Copies of this chain bind each other. A is one copy, B any other.
Amino acid sequence: MYILESTPFDELYVDEEITLYREVIEQDIDLFSTVSGDMNPIHLDEKYARDTIFGERIAHGMLSGAIISAALSCSLPGPGSVYLSQNLKFLSPIKIGDVIEIKLKVLEKIPQNRVKVSTQIFNQTGKQLVDGDAFSYVPNEKQTVHVNSFPFLFKLV
């Protein structure tokens, strides 16, 4: 059991940031194929993928969107925030075994409890894989929820 706590809108500040880590495993790509409905062999068939420009199976671009959305919902701004919009640029694909770094940073606080957050992903070599930003609605009250699993590691600063 994990306890997730949000930051109330008034306590969020511009330049506040958080870094999370996660290993992307083969099962993540298999599950994302099922849930999205995208069974293209570039994601699932190693032999097929070997003959493409990527040379190996790659994650779906939007798996990074799914992981970013979880990071936003679970950590910054956290539970109780409402996801309003997301822009994503897929710069380079996540590959099986990558330990990705998800960086979230508050860019702007906007009236009526809106916040703009920068959303970036890097791989273990420091190469940027995803760029983007999101808008969320953040309640005034702190929200605390209990969840059964949380597949991210936080950076200790």
Contact = CB atoms under 8 A, between A and B. Distances in A.
A60 to B, nearest CB: 6
A91 to B, nearest CB: 9
Given A37-B74, A61-B86, A86-B87, 6 more contacts: A31-B34, A35-B63, A36-B66, A39-B147, A48-B145, A62-B62
Interface string A89-129: 11000000000000000000000000000000000000000
Interface in A50-83: 60-63, 65-71, 73-74, 79, 83
Contacts of A48: 145
A37 B154 CA distance: 14
A92 to B, nearest CB: 11
